[in-house]
Amino acid sequence: MAQSTVDAWDRIISLATLGLGRHSSAIEDLLPDAAVKLPDGTREQWMLRCAAATLLTRLAGRRSVAAAVTLPARAVAIPGQTSPEQTIADAALRRLARLSAEGPKELIGEWFACARKSGKVLPPQWIPPIFETLTPRMRFEYAPVFGDRIHWLASQDARWTIEGLAKEYGEDNWLTGSAQERIAMLRRMRESDPNRGRTWLETTWSTDPPELREAFVQALKMGLSSADEAFLEKALDDKRRGVRLAAAENLARLPDSALVQRSLTRLQPLFAFDPRQSGMLAWASSRKLRIELPAALDKAALRDGMEPKAPADRKIGERSFWLMQMLSIPPLREWLRRFNCSAAELLEAAGRTDYAQEVFGALCAACVRHPDTEWIAALSAAWRARAKDQDRGAAPGIAALLAELPAAARDAQLQVEIAALRSQGSIDVSMQLLTCSDHAWSSATTALAFDALLAQIRESSGAHAALMRSQLESWGRHVEVASAGPAVHRALEKIGPESPWRSAVERLLELVEFRIDMHKELLT
Amino acid sequence: MEWSRERIEQLAPDAASSKAGLGLAKPAGWRTLGRSDQVIWGECQGSGANPYQVRVALADAGYRCTCPSRKQPCKHTLALLYLYAGGASFPNGAPPAFVEEWLANRAKRADAKATRESQPSAPVDPEAQARRQDKRESRIVLGLEQLQAWMSDIMTQGLANARTQPPTYWAQMASRLVDAQAPGLANRVRDMATAVHSEARWSDRMLGALARMQLLLDAYRSIESLPAPLAAEVRSLVGWTQKQEELLAQPGIQDHWQVIGRRRISEDTLRVQSTWLQGAASHRLALVLDFAVERQAFSSALMLGQVYAAEAVFFPGARPYRALLKNPVPMTGHSLQLTRAVDVAGLESGLATALAENPWLERWPAVVGPVTAAAIGDRWVLQDHQGRHLPMARSLQHGWSLAALTGGDSVNVFGEWDGFEFEPITVQYNAMLYSLEQIEAMTVLAKAV
């Protein structure tokens, strides 16, 4: 476009912005190169006509310059790939859009898990809007769902890179990656080759910034083994508190670690169970659990992660607090070995001490760190007894004990607990326990859950019922999809239209049907 | 044509209705469901005592529900359609009374309409009409003089000064023009009020609007000496409109009209639906505008990606673009093609030619291609095979969607060019049309059905 046109337009704009009233000079002088001859009319009209002519010239006269063509490299099919990637159906995509907009957000992970299982991919034009709604972690976990086009996009712009997804990553990537990428890489490596992951960590440890070191040590929880002990022990001396705490936590979870041994040594004089009597005396006297409070926390104890000050909201003496921290570290079967007793015996004896409540809490914490079947059974029996006394902590307490178990064991144990709670009549606690159990339930667990639900509805009364109804929706995310559909329908048949449970169960049905539809859309 | 979920969603007045309809699309909630050849019906148990009776004619999507909802089509109608599209069981049978009544009424209305249209309209008293037109003409002339004075005043005081004026400054001039029976000019003044307060390039936009207005005033004053199409355009821009019945009575262009673009915009309570068509044989581009107030449904049911055999009647003007479709009949088995694609040089010279015929043209529809989407800095452009760039609208966030879709391949794109930016509406790739759609909270390039 001729520069003069641009200039003319700019000149007119500046004149017009200030206003012609400011200019007393003759109009010919204002725009000497004006294309429009001065017709009849005022200065203002003339100015506007000039503007019109200039505008039209500008618009009509625009001619872009041809240039060297710089096209991006085209996305190519992967060599060796015989069939094009199958794309996910439209209905499923719209469902995902709905989930992203209104939730429940927890189902997005399930949507992607189904998608990944189906082997189908997002149609390429859906990648940009969807990618932006996912966290870097989810993008990494569900990378296959993005198909091959994501790699081409990443080659166009780094924002489409999935962090941690280098096909074969090695020490180079570890050294040069961003913080997020390296954390993702470490986690990934700890899943397949934990020792290699830890070795990477060791190579850059001295130069990594504190926040990153903290995140790395936390990541060592995955694939934790005694091979990591030497490194973690050194990390107990780190400058950054978060690193020390994370290292201590990891070491506490290693049953044979030096840290655990040190805790046991510390506890030796403080936590003792009377020796087992033999013969007649065994029946006459009950064994006593003797508890002494530690006099002080020495440097070694602080180094092992002991916290000197109790949190303000916890009503506990300082020295008791120290003892309970120590007690929550060693694996519980160690006590059975040392004291030649069963878990139930020890628990019962603990209940007769002055510190019954606190010891119980410490033992539960230890059980979470070192899951053990005998102890889980004993501790949950204790929780069940408390449930009968309306202890609100029973359901979350039992759920916490199960949470660290591997998936199948967790589900199986859950069934045991539900049955036990029901047989003692604590049906509302069993419902609460189900609500606290946020893992994917098996069909057996699902059946038990609905059984409990129907029983609860029959006996429904009082305050608990209202709370339960509001939590019923969260069940919908955990029930096993295949069996839940008919189960909810059966439940609805048994619930009259007037029941206060009706709307909650209908919402549950909606959620279950949503998941059923989602599975159908993605997996058929 | 098949009833698919996407078709029902296009029929819905908004996303909330569509969702509510889905929620009701469970057989358990319907007391009756049935169908005959042409109609489906059902009775939906609502919150009231009596169930709502819904009927839908399958061929032309005519519907009626007895619920009091102001949003049409209501969620019960949508639910019935979702059930049908989802394969629920609709037992064949004789329609119950409420369906028969509705069908009978529809037939009666169709007959009455046909009779009305075939009859000559009431004779217009030519003298009275001429008097009315003269009166309007003199009002307009007066309004123009007031407008000219007002515009000259802006030029004297300056655009910067105009920017500080209160909203009444613009509203008063606009209402004077409405009184002068020049609604087209009134709309332009209202648009100026928005332009002057915009952030980007406000003085360019303002001066451009004033310049075009001046051109319009000058043109109207000498309208007798203008060629007929240009005169028609000027009259239309000032605000003289033609009755739709008169327009429909005129002959149009018979063709297979392909729906190559569709967009809905809400401005306050007015919703505007723009449907772009391209004639398969004539390659003409046409725009059909529908208006709906608040929650009404749009009257036109043209579907994106469909082809209709119809006659298109164009509104009078210098470069006829806006049109009405007479009796559109959907064609099956025809695939859609964006044709007559131009490269950037072609677009630029095309705009020049168009402006010569109609200087007030602000948006020029065209098919450009083959082009590739490329990001230059923070802007997206379409690059043709000569290496010329077409900047895309700055508000474009879906450049990446386009790039992802095509993977660097070149495509044909239909959109509107305003001389500075190109606004893409539809993309053709691998024989499929893709259009930017709002799905829940995402903007996605969705395939047209």
Q: Which amino acid is at B281?
A: A
* Residue A82 pLDDT: 47
* Residue A281 pLDDT: 64
Which chain A positions have a beta carbon within 8 Å of B152's beta carbon?
42, 44-45
Chain A, window 282-301: residues with a beta carbon less than 8 angstroms from a chain B beta carbon: none
Positive or negative CA dihedral for A294, A295, A301, A307? positive
| Sheet bearing B364-376, strands edge to edge | B389-391, B379-384, B364-376, B411-417, B422-429, B432-439, B442-447
B222 touches chain A (CB under 8 A): no
Which chain A positions have a beta carbon within 8 Å of B157's beta carbon?
19, 21
Asked if A20's CB is within 8 angstroms of B374's CB, the reply is: no
* Residue A84 pLDDT: 66
Return the DSSP state at A121.
B
The per-residue pLDDT for range A233-250, each reduced to its tens digit, is: 999 999 999 999 999 999
Q: Residue B344: which of A19, A64, A156 has the nearest Cβ?
A: A64
Which chain A positions have a beta carbon within 8 Å of B5's beta carbon?
91
A129 touches chain B (CB under 8 A): yes
* CA geometry: angle A277, A278, A279, nearest 5 deg: 130
* Residue A466 pLDDT: 74
Which chain B positions have a beta carbon within 8 Å of A69's beta carbon?
383, 385-387
* Residue A513 pLDDT: 84
Burial state string for B134-160 with b = 16 or more CB within 10 A and e = fewer than 16: eeeeeebeebbeebbebbbebbbbbbe
Band the pLDDT of A264: cuts 50, 70, 90.
very high
Q: Which residue of A has its CA nearest to B409?
A: A74
CA distance A153 to B382: 17
Closest by Cα among B422, B287, B274, B419 to B361 = B419
Q: Which tokens is A481 given?
A: 């999809």
B318 touches chain A (CB under 8 A): no
The per-residue pLDDT for range A323-339, each reduced to its tens digit, is: 999 999 999 999 999 99
Higher pLDDT, A185 or A332: A332
Q: Residue B442: which of A61, A68, A97 has the nearest Cβ?
A: A97
Whether residue A463 is predicted with pLDDT greater than 80 in this model: the reply is: no
Q: Which tokens is B163 given?
A: 């920017």
* Residue A314 pLDDT: 83
Which chain A positions have a beta carbon within 8 Å of B151's beta carbon?
44, 48
CA distances from A251 to A222, A238, A306, B370 (A): 13, 14, 13, 63
Largest CA distance in chain A: 131
Asked if B152's CB is within 8 angstroms of A45's CB, the reply is: yes
Higher pLDDT, A172 or B343: B343
- Closest-CA distance, A157 to chain B, in angstroms, reads 10
* Residue A302 pLDDT: 92
- Closest-CA distance, A406 to chain B, in angstroms, reads 38
CA distance B149 to A44: 10
A64 touches chain B (CB under 8 A): yes
CA distance B214 to B212: 5
Closest by Cα among B273, B334, B335 to B301 = B273
Band the pLDDT of A188: cuts 50, 70, 90.
confident
Note the CATH number of domain B344-448.
2.40.50
Q: Which tokens is A37 given?
A: 């001859």
Return the DSSP state at A426.
-
CA distances from A252 to A259, A330, A379, A440 (A): 7, 7, 20, 28
How many CB atoms within 10 Å of residue A440?
Answer: 16
* Residue A135 pLDDT: 86
* Residue A29 pLDDT: 66
Which chain B positions have a beta carbon within 8 Å of A161's beta carbon?
none
The per-residue pLDDT for range A1-36, each reduced to its tens digit, is: 456 777 888 888 988 888 888 776 666 666 666 656
Which chain A positions have a beta carbon within 8 Å of B375's beta carbon?
156-157
The per-residue pLDDT for range B104-124, each reduced to its tens digit, is: 888 888 787 777 767 666 667
A108 touches chain B (CB under 8 A): no
Where chain B has pLDDT below 70, the residues are 1, 46-48, 117, 119-123, 268, 294-297, 394-397, 449
CA distance B80 to B59: 15
Chain B, window 42-101: residues with a beta carbon less than 8 angstroms from a chain A beta carbon: none
Q: Which residue of B has its CA nearest to A55?
A: B208
At A87, phi and psi to the nearest 5?
A: -100, 155
Q: What is the mean pLDDT of residues A488-505?
A: 80
* Residue A470 pLDDT: 76
The per-residue pLDDT for range A70-107, each reduced to its tens digit, is: 666 777 655 444 456 788 888 889 889 888 888 788 88
CA distance B143 to B175: 10
Whether residue A147 is predicted with pLDDT greater than 80 in this model: the reply is: yes
- Which region holds residue A180: left if phi is over 0, alpha if psi is between -120 and 50, else beta? alpha
Q: Which amino acid is at A167?
A: K
Closest by Cα among A149, A153, A143, A160 to A84 = A149
Mutate to test the interface with A, among B4, B10, B26, B156 (most CBs of A within 10 A): B156
B319 touches chain A (CB under 8 A): no
DSSP letter string over A262-319?
HHHHHHTTTEEEPPPP-THHHHHS---EEE---S---HHHHHTT--SS--TTS---HH
CA distance B65 to B167: 43
Q: Which amino acid is at B249?
A: A
Whether residue A461 is predicted with pLDDT greater than 80 in this model: the reply is: no
- Closest-CA distance, B273 to chain A, in angstroms, reads 23
Which chain A positions have a beta carbon within 8 Å of B434's beta carbon?
125
Q: Which residue of A has its CA nearest to B439?
A: A97
Domain ranges of chain B: 5-118, 126-238, 244-330, 344-448
Which chain A positions have a beta carbon within 8 Å of B148's beta carbon?
45
